[in-house]
Chains A and B, each alone.
Chain A
C-alpha cells in the first residue's frame, strides 16, 4: 500500500517501525513477487522460453511444474508471466486463463470459468449461458476456428493440476491437450502440482497427448544460501524513507544472522524443511514481537518464534486434561502394553482404572460410572482415542472398540509436565503392569 510522501528523511521510531511492519508483512504474508526467483535460474529460463514461443510464434505447448508445497511454483510462474507480459505486443495479444483445482471442482464449473475469462460471445455481464455440451462445443469451435498465425494465443494455467485428473473422464484435460496437439488456435497448458506421480493419474489417451515436459522444483538450497535468504528476507530495501534507520536495521539483521543460537535455530528449521512458507511463518512470528519500544529483532525473538513453531500440539492438549481423563489414558496405555496394541473398549479401561483405585490410590476418590463415561467421551471428542469401526449407532458406547492415538513417550512426557500430578498416579503410570 502506498504511503504518503515523506517530506523530511527523519521519521520517529514509531513511524519507522510501522513502515517496517508494512514492508515485511507484505513480503511474508502476501507472498509478494521477488525481483528474480532465487535458486531456480535454469527452470526460469526454460519456462520463459517455452511460453515466449507460444506467445510470439504461436506454438502450442504443454508443461507441468512439479515440486513440493511451498517450493515456489506459483512464484516462478508469476515471475515468468510478469516478464512475458512486459514484452511488447505480447501484452495485448496473450489471453491468460487461470483455473484452480480447488475451486473448479468439476468440468462444468471449469468450462463456465473458461468461457467467462475468455469473454466469449455467450457471456453477458458476469453470467455464462448455455448447457455444458453447448459450452464445450462453443469453446472447441472457437479454438478450432483459429490458426497459428492469426488468432491470439491462450495460456491455460491449471493450479492444483492433480485435482483436475479426478474429473469424470478427464474431459477437460483431454480437450485442452488435444487442442495443443492439433494445429488449431495456439494454446499453452501449464499445470502446477505437488504430486510427483501426477502422470500416473492421467488416462492413456490424455497422457499420450501431453508433451511430457516437466519442470521440477526440488530445492537444492544449501544452508549457507538458506541463511543468506533469511538475511535478505529480513532486510529493508534501499528506497526506505529513513536512510539512517534503514542502515541500522540492516546492520542489526546482519549481526543477528551471525549469532550462534540463532544459527542453531535456523539450522534446525532447515533440517526439518527447506520450503519458504515455513520460513516465512517463523520470520512472521519473530517480526510480530517488534514494537516501537523494542525496534529491532533480537535473538530471543527468533528463539521464541521457533519454540511456538516447533511445539507438540498433542502435548498441549494433554496438559489441559483433568486428572480423571489422564488416569483413563494411563489405563489405556497399560492395556496397550498388556495386550500388545489390541483395541479396547470402555469396560476394559474402566476395569483397569477400578483396579488401580482399589489397590493403590489414596488421592483419587471413586467416581460414578456416568462421570467416567463422560470423561471417556471427551477423550473421543478430542480424537485422542478413535473408534475402530465406523458404525456408532449399532453398538453400545461401553463396548465400542477403540484405539489410542498417542505415543508411549508422549504420555510419559505429558505426565512429567502435568501440574500437581498426584504421586500415586505417576507411579501407576511407571509400573509395567497395572
Chain B
C-alpha cells in the first residue's frame, strides 16, 4: 500500500520528490508492472531533471497539466516568455524523453499552410499519411485526413502538436489560429496543441474571440541562474572555478544589456580564449583574478561595438552629401549656405530660436531632384556636366538604399528623395573627400 503510494507520487509530483522516490525504489521492487503501465518511469523523470536546470518548477507544472499519457489533456496551451528562457527546450525534452507521440513545427519554416499540415501528419502518423493530402490542402482537408487516420490508429496516449514561433500563425490564413486552438474538438482526438511565443496572448486574440488556451509563463532567468547554466559548459583544460569566475566577469559587463542566454553563451565562447591568454603565456597564475580581469575588460568593451563602411565613387559621395544636406536643412536656409553673394540675412532672423526640435530628431525630409542637383553643383569643386552617369548614380544610390524615393507617382518628371544614411556615415564620407560637413548643417550652427 505504502509502496504504491510512493510510486504514484513520482509520476506527477514536483521534481523535488524524486530523490525520495528513487531511494524507495531500491528497497522495494514489487508492482513495477503497475508503474510502467500507468505513469512515467522514474529513470526517465530523473534523466529529464538533469537536462533541465533551473526549470524544475515549470517542468513539473507542465507535467501535472499534461497528466498521465492516457488521460485527457487540455485542448491548447500557450507558453510565453522571453527569448532563450527554455520554452522549446523544456517541451522537447519532456516529450522526447517520456516518449510521447508529438509533432513539432517551427512556423518560420512553413511558408504555406500545406507544409505545416504535412509536417504534423508526418510526425504523428508516419510517411504514408502525407499522400492522402491533396496538393494545396485546405484546413478542411487536413481535419478530414486527420480524422480518417485517427480512426485507423486511435490515440492511446495524448498526442501533442508543438507550434514554435506561434506569432507567425496570425499572418497565415485567418482561420488557422482559432482552428488549431480547438483542434481537439474538430478532430475528436485526444490531442493538445502547444503554442510557443515571445509575445503575450493579448496580441493573438482574433476579433470575434476564440477558444481560450491555458496560459503559462516562463519567467526570465535570474543572474544567479544564468551564472549556473553558463558555468556548466566549462573548458576541459581549465578548472571549473576559473570558468565560473570568467562567467561572473562576463555577466557583470553584459547583464544590463543582454539577458539572452544564447547570446551570452556565444559571447562567452568567443572571449574565453582571450581571457586565458595571459595564463597560456605564463604571465599570471589562475588565482590572480584581478590581473585577468584587467586583461579581458577592454576586449569585452570592444565586443559591444561594430563599425562598417562601404566604398563609393567620387561623385556618388558628393551626391550623398548633397542629399544629406537637402534632407536635414530647411529649404529656406539654402540661400545662406550655398550662394556666394546672398545679400544680407540677419543672424537673428536666420536662426529661429523657438524651433524646438532639431531635424536630427525628427528625421530626414523629402526634397525634389532639382534641389539635390543645385546643392550638388555648389558643393562639388570642379565643373561637372549633368551626364547620364550622374543620374545613373542617383538611381543606383536608391537601389543601394542609401537614398529612398518618396511617392511612386512621378518616376521621371520630378521625383522626390529622402536621404537614408546616418550622420556618422556621411561624416566619414565627407572626411574622405575633405569636405567640412558640419559647417553646412543648420542644426549645428
| Contact residues in A for B364 (Cβ distance below 8 Å) | 396, 399
Chain B residues packing against A (C-beta within 8 Å): 1, 4-5, 7-9, 11-13, 17, 38, 61, 64-65, 67-68, 70-75, 80-82, 85, 138-140, 143-144, 148, 173, 175, 178-179, 182, 184-186, 198-203, 208-212, 214-217, 219-220, 222, 255-259, 304-306, 357, 360-364, 404, 406, 418, 420, 422
Chain A interface, DSSP helix/strand/loop, else mixed: helix
Q: Is A291 within 8 A of B12, CB to CB?
A: yes
Q: Is A323 within 8 A of B214, CB to CB?
A: no
Q: Is A313 within 8 A of B202, CB to CB?
A: yes
Known: A284-B214, A383-B203. A26 touches B362 (CB 8 A): no
Q: Is A278 within 8 A of B212, CB to CB?
A: yes
| Contact residues in B for A323 (Cβ distance below 8 Å) | 256-257
User: What count of chain A residues pass the 8 Å CB interface test?
Assistant: 75
A293 beta carbon closer than 8 Å to chain B = yes
Most interface-central of B200, B259, B404 (chain A CB within 10 A): B200
Q: Which of A97-105, A222-230, A232-240 contacts B (4 or more CB under 8 A)?
A: A97-105
The 10 closest A-B pairs by CB, nearest first: A399-B363, A320-B220, A14-B8, A292-B8, A313-B200, A288-B64, A103-B140, A323-B256, A320-B82, A25-B72
A256 beta carbon closer than 8 Å to chain B = no
Q: Is B7 within 8 A of A316, CB to CB?
A: no
A30 to B138, CA, bound (A): 25
Residue in A closest to B364 when the chains form the complex, CB atoms: A399
A260 beta carbon closer than 8 Å to chain B = no
Q: Is B361 within 8 A of A313, CB to CB?
A: no
Sampled A-B contacts (26; CB under 8 Å): A13-B5, A13-B8, A14-B8, A29-B73, A102-B139, A109-B138, A116-B144, A278-B212, A281-B74, A293-B9, A293-B13, A309-B215, A313-B200, A313-B202, A316-B200, A316-B217, A321-B82, A324-B256, A345-B362, A347-B363, A364-B256, A383-B199, A383-B203, A394-B404, A395-B404, A399-B362
A113 beta carbon closer than 8 Å to chain B = yes
Q: Is A113 within 8 A of B140, CB to CB?
A: yes
Q: Is B422 within 8 A of A398, CB to CB?
A: yes
Q: Is B199 within 8 A of A382, CB to CB?
A: yes
Q: Is A12 within 8 A of B4, CB to CB?
A: yes
A381 partner, pick from B75, B198, B258, beta carbons under 8 A: B198
| Contact residues in B for A278 (Cβ distance below 8 Å) | 212
Q: Is A288 within 8 A of B305, CB to CB?
A: no
Sample of 9 further A-B pairs with CB below 8 A, known A14-B7, A382-B82 = A22-B71, A29-B73, A126-B148, A316-B217, A323-B256, A323-B257, A347-B360, A367-B304, A394-B404
Q: Is A320 within 8 A of B81, CB to CB?
A: yes
Most interface-central of B71, B184, B418 (chain A CB within 10 A): B71
In the complex, what's the smallest C-beta–C-beta distance from A236 to chain B, in angstroms?
15
A217 beta carbon closer than 8 Å to chain B = no
| Contact residues in B for A284 (Cβ distance below 8 Å) | 65, 74, 214
Q: Which of A40-48, A173-181, A368-376 contacts B (4 or more CB under 8 A)?
A: A368-376
Mark out the residues of chain A between 93 and 129 whose CB falls within 8 Å of any chain B CB in the assembled complex: 100-105, 109, 112-113, 116, 126
A216 to B165, CA, bound (A): 38
Q: Is A395 within 8 A of B198, CB to CB?
A: no
Q: Is A367 within 8 A of B64, CB to CB?
A: no
A195 beta carbon closer than 8 Å to chain B = yes
| Contact residues in B for A289 (Cβ distance below 8 Å) | 64
| Contact residues in A for B144 (Cβ distance below 8 Å) | 113, 116, 126
Known: A126-B148, A394-B404. A317 touches B68 (CB 8 A): no
A126 to B141, CA, bound (A): 11
| Contact residues in A for B210 (Cβ distance below 8 Å) | 69
A347 to B423, CA, bound (A): 12
What 0/1 readout, one digit per residue, does chain A (269-311) give for beta carbons within 8 Å of chain B?
A: 0000000011001001100110111000000000000001101
A162 beta carbon closer than 8 Å to chain B = yes
Q: Is B420 within 8 A of A105, CB to CB?
A: no
In the complex, what's the smallest C-beta–C-beta distance from B164 to chain A, in angstroms?
15
Q: Is A293 within 8 A of B5, CB to CB?
A: yes
Known: A288-B65, A311-B217. A103 touches B8 (CB 8 A): no
A219 beta carbon closer than 8 Å to chain B = no
Most interface-central of A100, A102, A103 (chain B CB within 10 A): A102
A308 to B70, CA, bound (A): 25
| Contact residues in B for A419 (Cβ distance below 8 Å) | 222
In the complex, what's the smallest C-beta–C-beta distance from A14 to chain B, in angstroms?
3
Q: Is B139 within 8 A of A103, CB to CB?
A: yes
A322 beta carbon closer than 8 Å to chain B = yes
| Contact residues in B for A21 (Cβ distance below 8 Å) | 67-68, 71
| Contact residues in A for B219 (Cβ distance below 8 Å) | 316, 319-320
A319 to B138, CA, bound (A): 40
